[in-house]
Amino acid sequence: MSSANTSRRVAFETIRAVNESDAYANLLLPKAIARAALDTADAGLATELTYGTLRRQGTYDAVIRIAADRPVQEIDPAVLDALRLGTHQLLSTRVASHAAVNESVELARSAGSRGAAGFANAVLRRISRDTPGEWMDRVAASARSDDERLGLVFSHPVWIVRAFRRALAAEGRADELEALLTADNASPRVTMAALPGLAEIPDAARRTPYSPVGFRLGGGDPEGLVRSSEGRVRVQDEGSQLAALALVNALPVADGERWLDLCAGPGGKTALLAAEARTRGAALEANEVSSARAGLVRQAVAGIPEGIPVSEEDGRTRAGEDAYDRILVDAPCTGLGALRRRPEARWRKSPADVPELTQLQGELLAAAVRGLRPGGVVAYVTCSPHLAETAGVVAEVRREFDGTLEELDARAVVTSLSASDPLLPPQSDGSGRAQLWPHRHNTDAMSITLLRRH
383 part of the active site: yes
Rounded (5°) CA angle 100-102-103: 70
Three-class HEC string of the chain: CCHHHHHHHHHHHHHHHHHHHCCCHHHHHHHHHHHHCCCHHHHHHHHHHHHHHHHCHHHHHHHHHHHHCCCHHHCCHHHHHHHHHHHHHHHHCCCCHHHHHHHHHHHHHHHCCHHHHHHHHHHHHHHHCCCHHHHHHHHHHCCCCHHHHHHHHHCCCHHHHHHHHHHHHCCCCHHHHHHHHHHHCCCCCCCEEECCCCCCCCCCCEECCCCCCEEECCCCCHHHHHHHCCCCEEECCHHHHHHHHHHHHCCCCCCCCEEEECCCCCCHHHHHHHHHHHHHCCEEEEECCCHHHHHHHHHHCCCCCCCCCEECCCHHHHCCCCCEEEEEEECCCCCHHHCCCCCCHHHHCCCCHHHHHHHHHHHHHHHHHHHEEEEEEEEEEECCCCCHHHHHHHHHHHHHCCCCEEEECHHHHHHHHCCCCCCCCCCCCCCCCEECCHHHHCCCCCEEEEEEEC
Question: Smallest Cα–Cα separation from 334: which of 380, 293, 386?
Answer: 386
Distance CA 196, CA 278 (A): 9
Active-site position among 248, 275, 383, 414: 383
Strand partners, 405: 453
Assess contact for 373 and 322: CB atoms under 8 A.
yes
- Residues marked active site are found at 383
